[in-house]
């Protein structure tokens, strides 16, 4: 359900789309990507590797995503830019060097499943640690917003300002150490492997699920990880655009729909990605034989709440919120889930959750 697209610039132009076109790599759109490892990548001169933009419909230029591949034994070119970027390692292992203009360099290693964010406008360079296999990562960025605000590539990519309040060159910035900053909030600049990171109970979203929210590199652009058990599904809910949902474990499907309209079914597996459009309801279902876990990268952190879109929280829609309680959902939703589980010889384990509100 992904396709390449051609750009058409309107009367007033679009600095972000203009820049993407100039980068000379493919731009993929649609509702979802089945496997990020299968996204076509082509030579990307500015990066010094291969890449592709992945601009799914639900991002709506609130943020964006790209995939980048580093050849075996090679490195990308040093980069810095005035937009935030959160990086998830899809495959491979390697290292990244970070430094401020004129400052001391520090290097940390990463692997498949790692999550980190180069501090805003700090120099960074990525290295593939394998001489035999390529390394691939995806990055969600705030580039569309910054391009639209400044419409100056020189300002965004060649600005010497150092955000010392975010990163002053301190040793161990990417050590992987962290601290709890509240209920289900973890502050750290490097997560070694989100696929096995310990989560905390999150009853409000249903189905015995667990969750943790990350705060990385003093960003406004951050994310969270959620997991839910075999034979269960989460409550339907809605919010603004730009939440890039990456499956990091398990198999299942999600339903997405605008209020009162037909539902779109997205089947997913590890390394699938989709982005629910603005104010569309969406609901996640574990139809596999192992727990399902996903990483969502999006705007809003516990420190910096940046959002121009309405969000009414986890209260029931009947109470004015943005979540659908199990007892109020369309009966066809549970019927479909029962049929999907039967394909792997399982039955739903939802009775206990239906009784709780």
**pLDDT higher than 60, residue 4:** no
**pLDDT higher than 60, residue 172:** yes
What kind of fold does domain 178-354 have according to CATH? Jelly Rolls (2.60.120)
How far is 227 from 194, CA to CA, in rounded Å? Answer: 11
**pLDDT higher than 80, residue 192:** yes
Least confident of 31-35, 243-247, 349-353: 349-353
How far is 241 from 120, CA to CA, in rounded Å? Answer: 22
How far is 161 from 152, CA to CA, in rounded Å? Answer: 15
Residue 335 is encoded by which pair of tokens?
A: 């019927």
What number of other Cβ atoms are within 10 A of residue 174's Cβ? 22
Number of H helices, E strands in the chain: 5, 26
2-157 shares its CATH topology with 178-354:
yes
Q: In which residue are the tokens 């910096």 written?
A: 304
CA angle (254, 260, 263) in 5-degree steps? 25
Mean pLDDT within 168-188: 91
Q: Which residue has the higher pLDDT, 89 or 260?
A: 89
Residue ranges of domains in the chain: 2-157, 178-354
Q: Which residues pair with 324 in a beta bridge?
A: 236
Q: At a CB cut-off of 8 Å and minimum separation 6, what does 42 contact? A: 24, 25, 26, 50, 51, 52
Mean pLDDT within 221-229: 95
**pLDDT higher than 90, residue 81:** yes
**pLDDT higher than 50, residue 7:** no
What kind of fold does domain 2-157 have according to CATH? Jelly Rolls (2.60.120)
Q: Nearest-CA neighbor of 56 among 328, 329, 225, 272?
A: 272
**pLDDT higher than 80, residue 213:** yes
Instruction: Give me the phi and psi of 318, to 5 degrees please.
Output: -70, -15
| Rg from Cα positions in the chain | 20
**pLDDT higher than 90, residue 308:** no
**41-76 tens-digit pLDDT:** 999 999 999 999 999 999 999 999 999 999 999 999
User: What's the mean pLDDT when you consider all of the chain?
Assistant: 92
Percent of the chain at pLDDT > 90 equals: 83
How far is 275 from 264, CA to CA, in rounded Å? Answer: 12
């Amino acid at each position: 359900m992904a396709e390449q697209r051609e750009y058409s610039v309107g009367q007033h132009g679009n600095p972000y789309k203009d820049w993407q076109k100039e980068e000379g790599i493919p731009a993929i759109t649609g509702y979802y990507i089945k496997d990020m490892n299968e996204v076509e990548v082509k030579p990307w001169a500015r990066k010094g590797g291969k890449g592709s933009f992945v601009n799914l419909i639900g991002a709506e230029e609130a943020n964006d995503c790209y995939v980048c591949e580093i050849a075996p034994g090679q490195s990308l070119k040093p980069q810095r830019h005035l937009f935030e970027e959160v990086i998830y390692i899809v495959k491979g292992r390697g290292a990244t060097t970070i430094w401020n203009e004129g400052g001391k360099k520090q290097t940390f290693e990463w692997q498949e499943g790692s999550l980190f964010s180069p501090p805003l406008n700090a120099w960074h360079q990525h290295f593939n640690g394998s001489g035999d296999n390529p390394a691939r990562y995806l990055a969600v960025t705030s580039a569309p917003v910054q391009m639209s605000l400044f419409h100056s590539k020189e300002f965004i990519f060649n600005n010497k300002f150092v955000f010392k309040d975010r990163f002053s060159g301190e040793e161990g910035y990417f050590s992987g150490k962290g601290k709890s900053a509240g209920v289900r909030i973890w502050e750290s600049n490097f997560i070694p492997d989100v696929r096995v990171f310990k989560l905390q109970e999150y009853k409000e979203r249903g189905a015995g699920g667990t969750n943790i929210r990350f705060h990385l590199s003093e960003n406004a652009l951050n994310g969270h990880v959620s997991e839910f058990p075999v034979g269960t599904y989460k409550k339907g809910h809605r919010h603004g655009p730009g939440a890039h949902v990456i499956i990091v474990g398990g198999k299942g499907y999600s339903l997405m729909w605008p209020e009162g309209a037909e539902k779109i079914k997205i089947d997913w597996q590890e390394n699938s990605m989709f982005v629910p459009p603005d104010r569309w309801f969406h609901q996640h279902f574990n139809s596999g034989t192992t727990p399902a876990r996903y990483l969502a990268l999006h705007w809003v952190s516990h420190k910096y709440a940046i959002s121009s879109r309405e969000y009414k929280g986890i209260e029931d829609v009947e109470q004015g919120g943005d979540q659908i309680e199990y007892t109020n959902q369309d009966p066809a939703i549970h019927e479909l889930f029962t049929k999907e589980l039967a394909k792997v010889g399982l039955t739903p384990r939802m009775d206990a959750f239906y009784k709780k509100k």
